[in-house]
Structure 1
Amino acid sequence: MRTFKGLVFFLVLCLSVEILGGWLTALSVRDWYPSLVKPPFTPPSWLFGPVWTLLYVLMAIAAWLVWRRPHRYELWLFGLQLFLNLSWSFLFFGLKNPFFALLDIVVLWFAIVATLIAFWKVDRRAGILFLPYLMWVTYAVYLNAGIWLLNK
């Protein structure tokens, strides 16, 4: 039962970050974001929600797998990348500042890499579960940089 509660905790944590990020972005997604010039290969807006939900669930499962092991300092990296992830939503959509958001997402990318490596060392499944997140954020760096360059 304890391990099930741990999984529920990480799911609630990650999905709460998603909900808070969604709340921070709600107005800008409707008003500001559509007015921006976007780089080629920008996905439709409706795709972001389902992709992020899946990624947050994968992150939660990965964190839970690591939490079950004796090595828990890796969860500090997890918390850092989660904070940077939420910060990006605030910087990009809340402050409408693609430049500061770009700085944040580059640091986030490195934090994800560090978390993935640390998780991999504890439980390879956890590292593998972080791969889609790393790939999506790599793509998001391109989108963020493109939006900044095309709209400055």
Structure 2
Amino acid sequence: MGTTWRTFDWPGAALVAAATLGALALGAFLSPGSDDPWYGALRKAPLNPPDAAFAVIWPVLFLLMLAGALLVLQEAGNFKRASAAMGLYFTMLAANVCWSLFFFGFSDPGIALGVLAALWLLIATMILRFAIHSPRAALLQVPYLLWVTFAAYLNISVLVLNPAP
């Protein structure tokens, strides 16, 4: 199908961009890293990256997410034709923020792990749905799926290394 940039769904793209940037900002606000006394005191996985790595990785992943979503929107021609893919995308953004809320906000890595499992399934499903419109858009989501897989290792490690009293 596809569309030219002149007939591109700019209002839909603005909504996707605003939601993506909003989720990135909210997730960053909710995730203080080692500045959080609770998180700073936790025993962590041997492969736990330094806080500075998260500050680089997350914006790159969100840029890839946004680029993929915009490719889907462009190839679909409008937001309505991409509604299934966009619905998954917005749900995925919400789940991403919910992980930060449960892990850092509520200091509950157990519930956060459940959210992370749901997020992983959402991303995998979103990749399949994106591929219908744009294989490139789907491929752009693979680093995010891999990162969330690694995040599960980190989350599980926190649970195992810091048993509840």
Q: Does 1:35 align with 2:41?
A: yes
70-79 vs 45-54, which deviates more?
A: 70-79
Counterpart of 2:8?
Answer: 3
Cα distance in 1 for partners of 2:13, 2:90 equals: 15
Change (3 A) 1:143 1:74: same
The alpha carbon displacement at 1:104 in A equals 0.5
Could you list the runs of 5+ residues in structure 1 that have no partner in the other structure?
none
Aligned residues: 152
Q: What is the CA-CA distance between 1:148 and the residue it aligns to?
A: 1.1
Aligned mates of 1:76, 1:96 — CA distance in 2 = 29
Q: Which has the higher helix share?
A: 1
Residue 107 of structure 1 is matched in structure 2 by 118
Aligned-residue offset at 1:41: 0.7
Alignment of 1:1-152 (within 5 A): 3=8, 5=10, 6-26=12-32, 29-68=35-74, 69=76, 70-152=81-163
Q: CA RMSD in A?
A: 1.8
Please say if residues 17 and 66 of structure 2, whose CA atoms lie closer than 8 Å, have aligned partners that are also in contact.
Answer: yes
Q: Distance in 2 between matches of 1:101 and 1:82?
A: 15
Moved over 6 A (4+): none
Rg (Cα) greater in structure: 2
| 1:17–1:123 distance in 2 versus 1, CA, 3 Å | same
Give the TM-score of the pair, scaled to structure 2. Answer: 0.85
Determine helix, strand or coil for the equivalent of 2:47. coil
Deviations 1:50-85 (A, max 9, x none): 100011111011111112203331111111111110
SS at match of 1:41: coil
Q: What amino acid is the match of 1:78?
A: Y
Change (3 A) 1:90 1:2: farther
Distance of 1:37 and 1:117 partners within structure 2: 36
**Cα distance between partner residues in 2 of 1:86 and 1:39:** 22
The equivalent residue for 2:3 is: none
Partners in 2 of 1:147 and 1:113 — Cα distance?
24
- Report the Cα offset of residue 2 of structure 1: 5.9
Letter in 1 for 2:135: R
- Looking at structure 2, the residues matched to 36 and 2 of structure 1 have their Cα atoms a distance apart, in angstroms, of 51
Q: Which runs of 5+ in 2 are unaligned?
A: 1-5
What is the deviation of 1:34?
A: 1.5
- Alignment deviations for residues 101-146 of structure 1 (CA, whole Å, 9 cap, x no partner): 0011011101100001110121001101100100100000110011
What percentage of aligned pairs have identical amino acids?
34
